[in-house]
Structure 1
Amino acid sequence: MSDNLAATDKEGKGPPIKKKSRFEERMKKWGVPIAIIFMLLLLFMPTPEGMEPAAQKSIAIFTGALVLWITTPIPIYLTSIIAILLLPLIGAVEDQEVVFGTLGFDVIWLMVSAFILTSAMIKSNLGRRFALWMVTKFGKTPKMTLLVLIAINFILAFFVPSTTARATLMVPICLILLEVYKAIPGRSNLGRVMMLQGVQADALATSGVMTATSGNIIAVGFINELAGGQIGYMDWLLASMPTAIITMLITFFIGFKLFSIKDESNFQDVMGTLHDELKKLGQFSTDEKKATIIFILTVILWATGDYHKDWFGFEISTEQTAVLAALLCLLPRVGLLTWKDTNIKWELMIFAAGAYAVGNALDKSKGAEWIIKNVVSTLGLEQMSHAMVAVVVIFLSMYSHLIFTSKTVRVTILIPAFIALAKTLGMDPVPLALAAAMTMTYTITLPPHSKVNTIYFGTGYFSVLDQVKYAVVTCFIGASIISLAYFTWFKVLGL
């Protein structure tokens, strides 16, 4: 920390510096030895029955990396580099392309494009204009600002069938708002809550709309084909959207308890300044017009993904649309940016590559599948009452994202398994599988658990530990609300 910054904080002109608690300091101090101990214990213990040696090695490296990502004794990108190096070195994967190739994943390109689009919004002042209008119109207080952003997330879920696309749209808006509020990454609780609730609003809104992600559609296919259900768009919406809204509202207020923002700004004093800043922007500039056209084109392509083949004869994916938008931003004369204008965080790309490498190793080695099967067996689901089985299945499904880094993988493995379990126990498989499927989008606990998490985490406004604390509470509330709906609301709907 510089002397000037320290002085600013002492004078009260900047946001207060959040000091790490003793627990966080101890975690950072002991993170490396704890990670090594856990990894070595898992690596050299006798291989459990039914587990392949590669799966054991993958689980060991995943556990060690998880400890380091949470305790942060070293930068998170260094942990990813270590994981990428260890996976092929100790034989967790046979082909090193499985791990070294993750830097070429579509999510990496999506993240690059997101940073370029953010730079375009900032340079053109389009984002600033929109943010200032939003703040002066609706965001009279921090809570109102956050509610507006959450509402936008839920509305977009109906029109943009991609969680990552919605994150790419929302993050630039959040960054501009936080710039207006003079929030500093890593220090501002307003920024911390805004970004964390952005992650959660994206995930919860997705759970409420069947077409908001491919995982929901795949789950409905399993339910209708394997369980004999007749779940359609409106069935899913009526069953899931109320639980998503209730969970979001409850966790919205919990966010203020976890990260108090009441003393961050005097909003009454700042509103006049914000109105003046909006007036200073004047008429739309050429760069703003270019950015507007690029963003409208991007939103249209994202929102109409299901119709591309009929219209064009080919499909333009979410990632291709994002890269196209980035290209348009950078093209001479057409665009408004040079490469020097972009603010791409390559350390985040390395971190994401390592996270996906570990996730791939777990999936390919069947380590994740072994863990889930043994959890189900250990819990003794066959001996429980039907009501208890339903609750356990919903909670197990909710927290299964701690192991699987892919919603599609979770849906593919768990939904058929839960349908088979329900049939074996004489339960109706349709409502059980539907309730479990509604939890599949709650991939909110760690940055590598979804592309959305990684994009929001890249802003630097919250730490891994911040996300874990908030997500554990949200997932518990979400699972509880869905369990309650299973026994009540589902019956009202005739499910």
Structure 2
Amino acid sequence: MVERGTPLSDSPLEPSVKKKSGTEAFLKKWGIPIALIVGLILYFMPTPAGMTVPGQRALGIFTATLILWVAGSLPIYLTSMVATVLLSVTGTFKEEEALGMLGNDVIWLMVSAFILTSAMIKSNLARRFALWMITAFGKTPKRTLLVLVALNFILAFFVPSTTARATLMVPICMILLEVYRAVPGESNLGRIMMLQGVQADALATSGVMTATSGNIIAVGFINEQAGGSISYMTWLLASMPTAIITMLLTFLIGLKLFSFKGEAAFEGVMSTLKEELVKLGRFSVIEKKALGIFLLTVVLWATGDYHKSWFGFEIDVFMTAIIAAILCLMPKVGLLTWKEANIKWDLMIFAAGAYAVGNALEKSKGAEWVIKSVVKGLGLEHMSHVWVYVLVVFISMYSHLIFTSKTVRVTILIPAFIALAKSLGMDPVALALASAMTLTYTITLPPHSKVNTIYFATGYFSVLDQAKYAVVTCFIGATLISLAIFTWFKVLGI
């Protein structure tokens, strides 16, 4: 019997330490003085025509904060704390509003998501399910690849962390490839399996609102600033079809790019995986508890639109997650202690500060002024709305080439595009939702996400392998999302 929570492989992978490029080293060294200079210039310059004084102050604080987030000169949570203080002491944002962001419903959802992730990992339920799926349905290499892709999409509903899902999936892929005698750097089966793991993780995350904190933060902006009512099911119905179609198309393209015909026969793999499944032992009490809690959670998330008629009251996404977290932590009923709940409080504080500076810029009309200036400067006010939609989607899709943090990109782009839509008389909900659907496609280079780094550390693919596959996938994804705005979104009433 293997110990609960231990990896399937005898040698668990640790992400390699990435050496900083010259640009990254420069930004980290000079980020603080650059942020100070730019922030002070924006804060004290003569107030431009059409901009309010609070808007100018908010712009200065937001820009300085943004520079520090990107440069990494300070930890992102510390930058958010500094920003929160500056918003308050300068009178840019009321103190109770700035501090109150830590009590935002999105923060509660993120806390609950981390508790659910910890419970899923401790229970071993996801690992058991993954092994069962592969041994039951993965009879050939291509079918095994499809099963692995399907597993990533299924786990996105249960494990609201991209890194956690990668941590679950990579050891299973390693077992497959080790038994298959695939040589890292030489085996095309190894290349495609690991690269499709990266892409399936990202695309599945795009399809499920609760699959990453970035999606949750984006929904918070859309519902609060754009007047939307995006629910769990709305996001799922809008985004999952494009994610699945993109994955299927790129799956077929990947088989052409990295053909593994002629490699050794796919024999002996199933018996080894079945042995790993046997090592997990009988279905334990802790797994039964986890299964019950997660099934209840998914049912409540999926049926949110019917709660009012069924119960006479509504249990929204946030309350459902908190209920699930309570059940996970409840003595005798649950399966976790508070100490075992791996809650990333630094991310909570970062998100609270991000909301504070974003909302300050929005409420002070600073964002609106900036967007109007950009619109006027680029001539976007004369551009067809169709092309504005498409341009925004492609900008969002490839923005990860500049910003490696999904959360930072959400904080920067979603409020900006909401303001852009309002200034052009477009639907801000549709534009912001389409943009948000692209923000998980962080798949081009290893440093663009922790998931990339974990898979890249296996040594089965090169930087060039990942880049050329990702260019195709991102283009297909952006194109399909652009088309969905004018077709599928209309069907859904978005």
- TM-score band w.r.t. shorter chain: 0.5 to 0.7
- Counterpart of 1:109 in structure 2 is 108
| 2:291 maps to 1:295 | no
CA distance in 2, matches of 1:248, 1:16: 27
Deviation at 1:147, TM superposition (A): 2.8
CA distance in 1, matches of 2:356, 2:309: 36
CA contact (8 A) 2:83 2:357 kept: yes
CA 121–307 in structure 1, closer or farther in 2 if over 3 Å, else same: same
Amino acid paired to 1:177: M
- Counterpart of 1:453 in structure 2 is none
Deviation at 1:308, TM superposition (A): 0.3
CA distance in 2, matches of 1:80, 1:144: 41
User: Please, what is the CA RMSD of the aligned residues?
Assistant: 5.1
Of 430, 439, 462 in structure 1, the residue corresponding to residue 434 of structure 2 is: 439
Deviation at 1:324, TM superposition (A): 0.6
Amino acid paired to 1:27: L
Deviation at 1:312, TM superposition (A): 0.5
CA contact (8 A) 1:150 1:197 kept: yes
CA 443–77 in structure 1, closer or farther in 2 if over 3 Å, else same: farther
CA distance in 2, matches of 1:83, 1:471: 35
Amino acid paired to 1:41: I
CA contact (8 A) 2:202 2:441 kept: no
CA contact (8 A) 1:132 1:180 kept: yes
CA distance in 2, matches of 1:269, 1:30: 55
With structure 1 as the length reference, what TM-score do the two structures score? 0.65
Provide the secondary structure at the position in 2 that maps to 1:351: helix
The residue correspondences of 1:219-258 to structure 2 (distance < 5 A) are none
CA 377–404 in structure 1, closer or farther in 2 if over 3 Å, else same: farther
Amino acid paired to 1:89: V
CA contact (8 A) 1:397 1:414 kept: no
Amino acid paired to 1:35: A
- Counterpart of 2:318 in structure 1 is 319
Provide the secondary structure at the position in 1 that maps to 2:46: coil
CA 200–370 in structure 1, closer or farther in 2 if over 3 Å, else same: farther
CA 329–269 in structure 1, closer or farther in 2 if over 3 Å, else same: same
Amino acid paired to 1:334: V
- Counterpart of 1:452 in structure 2 is none
Q: Report how many residues are paired.
A: 410
Provide the secondary structure at the position in 2 that maps to 1:19: coil
CA distance in 1, matches of 2:360, 2:272: 52
- Counterpart of 1:278 in structure 2 is 277
The residue correspondences of 1:370-385 to structure 2 (distance < 5 A) are 370-381=369-380, 383=382
Unaligned runs of 5+ in 2: 1-10, 176-190, 210-217, 256-265, 400-407, 443-448, 456-462, 490-494
- Counterpart of 2:168 in structure 1 is 176
With structure 2 as the length reference, what TM-score do the two structures score? 0.65
CA 114–379 in structure 1, closer or farther in 2 if over 3 Å, else same: same
- Counterpart of 1:69 in structure 2 is 69
Deviation at 1:344, TM superposition (A): 1.5
- Counterpart of 1:202 in structure 2 is 205
CA contact (8 A) 2:372 2:420 kept: no
Deviation at 1:328, TM superposition (A): 0.9
CA 179–32 in structure 1, closer or farther in 2 if over 3 Å, else same: farther
CA contact (8 A) 1:444 1:471 kept: no
Amino acid paired to 1:395: L
- Counterpart of 2:8 in structure 1 is none
1:78-98: CA deviation from partner (whole Å, max 9, x where unpaired) = 1111111111122321x1112
- Counterpart of 1:82 in structure 2 is 82
CA distance in 2, matches of 1:334, 1:72: 42
CA distance in 2, matches of 1:221, 1:357: 18
Farther off after superposition, 292-301 or 100-109: 100-109
1:76-117: CA deviation from partner (whole Å, max 9, x where unpaired) = 111111111111122321x11121111111122112211211
1:229-288: CA deviation from partner (whole Å, max 9, x where unpaired) = xxxx99x98x988765565567889999xxxxxxxxxx9999765443211112211111
Deviation at 1:460, TM superposition (A): 9.8
| 2:346 maps to 1:347 | yes
CA distance in 2, matches of 1:403, 1:72: 14
CA distance in 1, matches of 2:280, 2:296: 24
Amino acid paired to 2:32: V
- Counterpart of 2:305 in structure 1 is 306
CA distance in 2, matches of 1:331, 1:366: 45
Provide the secondary structure at the position in 2 that maps to 1:441: helix
| 2:25 maps to 1:25 | yes
Unaligned runs of 5+ in 1: 1-10, 157-164, 184-188, 207-211, 223-232, 257-266, 422-431, 448-455, 491-495
CA 134–41 in structure 1, closer or farther in 2 if over 3 Å, else same: farther
Amino acid paired to 2:205: D
Provide the secondary structure at the position in 2 that maps to 1:316: coil
Amino acid paired to 2:342: N
| 2:338 maps to 1:335 | no
CA 298–314 in structure 1, closer or farther in 2 if over 3 Å, else same: same
Percent of residue pairs identical:
51
Deviation at 1:313, TM superposition (A): 0.4
Deviation at 1:311, TM superposition (A): 0.5
CA 30–248 in structure 1, closer or farther in 2 if over 3 Å, else same: farther
Amino acid paired to 2:150: V
CA distance in 1, matches of 2:487, 2:331: 59
Provide the secondary structure at the position in 1 that maps to 2:434: coil
